[in-house]
Structure 1
Amino acid sequence: MRLLLLSNSTNHGTGYLEHALETVLTFLDGAALTFVPYALADHDAYTAKVAAALAPSGTRVTGLHEAADPRAEIERAEAVFVGGGNTFRLLDTLGRLGLLAPLADRVRDGLPYMGASAGTNIAGLTIRTTNDMPIAQPASFEALGLVPFQLNPHFLDADPTSTHRGETREQRLAEFLEVNDVPVLGLREGTWLAVQDGAARIGGSAVGAGAPGPAVVFARGAAPREVSGDVSELLGTTPRFDVPA
């Protein structure tokens, strides 16, 4: 498989995909792009935004929603990009259209898959570690399962100077691990996970004050672990869901 899983599509002060553009274009390697806009409501505007960002490179972008037969479009796609937005709406729409299994099968057969935010969430086993509000109700939380662990894009470190007393992201992920024995890869803003030829690597540079590194791994029975570069050991994960500690 070839995966490029972005934490976010826009860094503060930059244009859409600008912070990762060189990596994106190298990943696509001239392929036409089938864009999946289902995480947002306005599919046309979303597709136009992606097309405008990639137009200078000559990349041709087609919205999957424009196809009379989305399954057939996935079968003939050269590369696919699943954009960010609401993860529940994205998974629900893909499920209702019967596209989850065909998309996963094609990616496992070598179709390059790029995701951002919600599109990165669904590359994991389930969407149980998304940050999004459940504005739609998918039939299941099970996602594409392209990697055998959980993903948490937009990972935010707690601000020690904040007066907010609600749960931190780390606390929420700790709650997940109380019920599930599955590692979670938290990707900070500006970073991504690339998977190819059985290897997984963290790329990009974390943005935001106080970010100690690009990513962090949360696992049951262990302290959070900062990671960068090669994280291929995560591909050997044996996930266990619904097994309270």
Structure 2
Amino acid sequence: MKILLLSRNTGAILPFLVGASCAKAPLDGFRIAYIDDAQQSFAGAAFVEAERAALEALAGHIVPVTARGTETRRFDRMLADVDAVYVASGSTFALLDALRASGNAAALVERVRAGLPYIGASAGSIVAGPDVTPACLMDDPADGPALTDYAGLALIDQTVIPHADGLLPPYPPELIQKTLDTYRDSHALTPLNDDQALLMDNGRLSVIRSEP
């Protein structure tokens, strides 16, 4: 599998895509599915616009995808027609709820396990792990009202804790520390600062730099 999990900054994306897809920079004609379910309640927010603009500056063509309400066969066809998938930041529980309720979680996992490069950002990074429970202090579990458990996509065996440097106002150092103290004994956690990313390369996980 080819996986890049971001906290916030996008600097690691281009080298990842070039390496994972044998693409050439600039990524002319390159197509990335942008799964936006985590951002549905944040329409028009500055961070949403900035995140999408940052990806558009790197990629040849962004294909907006909303898992909730998209029939699974159509969702799968959309993923079959792109070169990578980007799962955007926002609410971890809204994202997981949407993927589960639509039945599209399994289709996404199957495509990634078959080789489709996966890029996650914040919430999109958290759901890639085995269990999103450690996000309960950072995001609101009520955003996923239909969830009966918090099992993630299990693409990796760690749960990412993004914004671990405490520089982003919604996630101050005290909240990050409380999250780590609460869950480090029960979950395998990987804290990521906003200038870091978690890369899976040949089955091995490593923390790398990801500058703005």
Q: TM-score, normalised by structure 2?
A: 0.75
User: Match for 2:151 among 142, 153, 156?
Assistant: 142
User: Match for 1:23 among 12, 15, 39?
Assistant: 15
User: Quick one: structure 1 residues 21 and 149, their matched pair in 2 at CA, closer, same or farther if it must change by over 3 Å?
Assistant: closer
Which stretch has the larger CA shift, 189-198 or 63-72?
Answer: 63-72
User: Is 1:34–1:62's contact at 8 Å kept on the other side of the alignment?
Assistant: yes
User: Match for 1:122 among 105, 120, 127?
Assistant: 127
Q: How big is the alpha-carbon RMSD for the aligned residues of Structure 1 and Structure 2? A: 3.1
Counterpart for residue 204 of structure 2? 199
Q: TM-score, normalised by structure 1?
A: 0.66
Counterpart for residue 34 of structure 1? 33
Query: Is 2:172 the partner of 1:173?
Result: no
Name structure 1 gaps, 5 residues minimum: 10-16, 159-165, 208-245
Instruction: Write the letter of the residue equivalent to 2:3.
Output: L
User: Quick one: structure 1 residues 45 and 23, their matched pair in 2 at CA, closer, same or farther if it must change by over 3 Å?
Assistant: farther
Instruction: Write the letter of the residue equivalent to 2:35.
Output: V
Counterpart Cα distance in 2 of 1:202 and 1:168: 22
* Identity value in percent: 26
Counterpart for residue 217 of structure 1? none
Structure 1 residues 1-245: aligned runs within 5 Å? 1-9=1-9, 17=10, 19-20=11-12, 22-23=14-15, 25-26=17-18, 27=20, 29=23, 30=27, 31-41=30-40, 52-57=53-58, 59-65=60-66, 69-130=74-135, 131-136=138-143, 137=145, 138-156=147-165, 168-178=175-185, 180=186, 182-204=187-209
User: Is 2:14–2:58's contact at 8 Å kept on the other side of the alignment?
Assistant: no
Shift of 1:70: 1.8
Deviations 1:121-170 (A, max 9, x none): 01100111222122322232111101112211111369xxxxxxx95423
User: Quick one: structure 1 residues 6 and 105, their matched pair in 2 at CA, closer, same or farther if it must change by over 3 Å?
Assistant: same
Shift of 1:78: 2.0
Count of equivalent residues:
190
Instruction: Write the letter of the residue equivalent to 1:5.
Output: L
Counterpart Cα distance in 1 of 2:88 and 2:153: 15
User: Is 2:4–2:120's contact at 8 Å kept on the other side of the alignment?
Assistant: yes
Shift of 1:43: 8.6
Instruction: Write the letter of the residue equivalent to 1:152.
Output: I
User: Is 1:100–1:143's contact at 8 Å kept on the other side of the alignment?
Assistant: no
Which is higher, the Rg of structure 1 or of structure 2?
1
Which has more helix, going by share of residues? Answer: 2
Shift of 1:57: 4.5
